[in-house]
Chain A
């Protein structure tokens, strides 16, 4: 990045069943992020709205209620990675000197979307995301001996992380057990419904600013530095699946992470907490290895040892992840930024990671892309 960029404000509308429109949820999250930053909308020099299914011009229309200031407003869409990509655009706008303050707002209602490639019968229509990740899981069980119980334990961890997150879609009133996850409806062998991400509605937003602006604002004590912002699309691999791949080769996470670690000047051992695209537990398990948290084939041990639970060596999906915080689409990646910033400020309450100093947020998007941000505490 040409110049330093800081997150100065984050905001959310709770994820779950929609009470208001998706754009309304984006508006609520946007206002919350501005209030968190302690600035007014006219300060914002560029706005990136991330949504998948809310319709033409929805973002620019929603922005009118934030203020008719004449700022450039753009729509960003990258499937599950939409919010992460919108955030990255805001970061790049400030890093490149285009403006001093930029904003990303994500909003969506997953239940109103037609799905990948439209709703009509298509050759690709049979390959659901649930099927794709289930095939990752079946292959993993074959190659490494991973058990269904390990997937269930990982999912239960994320359900329980969400219990102290007021914005989470799934807030269990009891400690969720492995047995409970295993007993839920089977949706795509070996995944049960309690292992699948919660698809609902919601909004999330972040405000980023230059170092000069942060100094002028006197916001240094709560400003979280963006020390890496990387995005990649697919590279060709053996066994490359072109049709119905959902998120392409898993190696994309490995190469995007390598670029992010290089940009940040640190390694996986320096991370305090991680958010990932845990649409299904097989994903989080594989990302332990692909992000370099442990050697290949040893991810299962992190689960059995509780290393990625709150209180463990390197907590993953601290707000419940896609599994329990939820995955409405557009706002999901920005919810990860919200959680990472909240943790690095030491404001995460009952789910606070002790001494959190560096957090990584990872999202994959169908098509496919991978986006990784690394943030450092004030």
Chain B
């Protein structure tokens, strides 16, 4: 059995290293100074220029040569390190639905209480699930889709909170 005094410093160092990494992982600043802020940080960029398209922030595993979204702490396939990467903001619609009775999450995205939800396959591989802009009837499987941002209320300072969404690519 190792003496506690020998074990502890190394263990502490390792724990601190993991903690620092996780802290940095959590604190990636994706909030622009444009008056719009992300509903939650770390999932997508909020460009200062409203006309510039947002990007989803994912992870790339060089060892597995695989992309993931949202970001991973480690590669789920190999356990190796991953790097942050901005993913393509266009993809192909895999499936969709139109929700009329919100039950969980308590976010209602239109005055009628209905909103679209879809799954979009990005060219890098990840399948992204999120809200769709538009109405039922607008979507067909296989359609090209584009990433955008949609308002979901305001924070305590009155700034516009946004989350990512997809719309039919023009």
Contacts and interface: CB of A to CB of B under 8 A. Distances in A.
Contact of B117 (A116, A121, A127, A185): A127
A122 B70 CA distance: 14
Contacts of B107: 121, 125-126
Interface stretch (A39-47, A54-62, A131-139): A131-139
Interface in B88-116: 94-107, 109, 115
A124 B164 CA distance: 11
Nearest to A117: B105
Contact of A116 (B105, B121, B129): B105
A240 B101 contact: no
B45 to A, nearest CB: 14
Nearest 5 CB-CB pairings of A with B: A115-B104, A125-B105, A134-B97, A135-B95, A139-B95
Contacts of B109: 126
A119 B95 contact: no
A136 to B, nearest CB: 7
Contact of B105 (A115, A132, A242): A115
Contact of A138 (B96, B115, B152): B96
A2 interface: no
Interface in A101-139: 114-117, 119, 121-132, 134-139
19 contacts: A115-B105, A117-B105, A121-B105, A121-B153, A126-B130, A126-B131, A128-B105, A130-B103, A132-B129, A185-B100, A185-B101, A236-B76, A236-B77, A239-B94, A242-B68, A242-B69, A242-B72, A242-B126, A245-B129
Contacts of B101: 130, 185, 187-188, 193
Given A121-B39, A189-B98, A135 B153 contact: no
A68 interface: no
Given A126-B117, A236-B76, 13 more contacts: A119-B105, A125-B104, A125-B106, A126-B105, A127-B130, A132-B129, A135-B95, A138-B141, A185-B100, A185-B101, A239-B119, A242-B70, A243-B43
B161 interface: yes
A141 to B, nearest CB: 9
Interface residues of B, number: 43
Interface string A222-241: 00000000000000101111
B100 A187 contact: yes
Nearest to A234: B76
A241 B107 CA distance: 21
Interface in B130-170: 130-131, 136, 141, 152-153, 161, 163-164
Contact of B99 (A114, A130, A137): A130
Interface string B59-73: 000000000111010
B118 interface: yes
Nearest to B129: A244
A231 to B, nearest CB: 19
Given A115-B104, A119-B106, A121-B161, A240 B127 contact: yes
Contacts of B136: 189
Contacts of A244: 129-130
Contacts of B161: 121
A193 B103 CA distance: 12
A121 B106 contact: yes
